[in-house]
Amino acid sequence: MNAQDALLAFAESAKVFINYITAAANDACKEAKRQTMNQTDVLTALEELQFGEMIPGVKDSLEGESMHALLRCGHDSGTSCIVTLSDHIVTRQ
């Protein structure tokens, strides 16, 4: 495996992780009978999926940012959800 293969594997892993969190946050959104996912749904998903240790870091990265209308439940394609969520969870430092 070379460096480019490793980078591709990491990117694919991140995509799968974001999809997993997004699906759980979508479920939380639907359970609350809402159409717009919010910060609470994402944090709830992290806790329910046993990634609670990530919550303080995610909260810090989101501090001061508005997450209203971050995601909409029921998109035809999850692509925009993945990109938007990954901007906040994966690439923020």
pTM over 0.85: no
Judge whether residue 64 has pLDDT over 80: no
* Unique residue bearing structure tokens 């490793």: 6
Rg for the chain (alpha carbons), in Å?
Answer: 14
Please indicate whether residue 77 or residue 43 has the higher confidence score (pLDDT): 43
Q: What CATH number has the domain bearing residue 9?
A: 1.10.20.10
* Averaged pLDDT score across all residues of the chain: 76
Q: How many residues does the chain have?
A: 93
**Which tokens is 34 given?**
């809402």
**Structural domain count of the chain:** 1
Residue range(s) defining the domain that contains residue 84: 3-89
